[in-house]
Amino acid sequence: MTDINTTLQFVSLDATHDDLNRVIAAIKYRREELARKAKHALDVGQKVKFSSRNTTYQGVIKSIKLKKAIVDCGISKFDVPLSMLEAA
């Protein structure tokens, strides 16, 4: 955790524009990697849960797209990023 704190201090105080672009690219790559892993762990028909605006929703996956899934929560359907979903 100290590495992340050192990195955050560097970013907030000493980073150049190019340094910031490299950090942003690394974050985007990691998010895409997590979404790919989540996609392989989920299946249509699986019960999942996710949180949004201090509310936890539970539902069933109706379809899976590249980066998001359609989740039917009974009263409504949501287009949820795969990285936000976890098995219920």
Whether 2 has a pLDDT exceeding 80, the answer reads no
Q: Alpha carbon of 73 to those of 29, 60, 70: distances in Å? A: 30, 7, 10
CATH architecture of the domain covering 2-87: Roll (2.30)
The pLDDT value recorded for residue 40 is 79
Q: Which of 63, 67, 66 is nearest to 46 (CA)?
A: 63
CA dihedral over 11, 14, 16, 17, signed as positive or negative:
positive
pLDDT tens digit sequence for 18-58: 888 988 998 899 888 887 787 778 889 999 999 988 889 99
Report if pTM > 0.95: no
* d(C-alpha 82, C-alpha 49), whole Å: 11
CA Rg, the chain, in Å?
17
* d(C-alpha 76, C-alpha 64), whole Å: 17
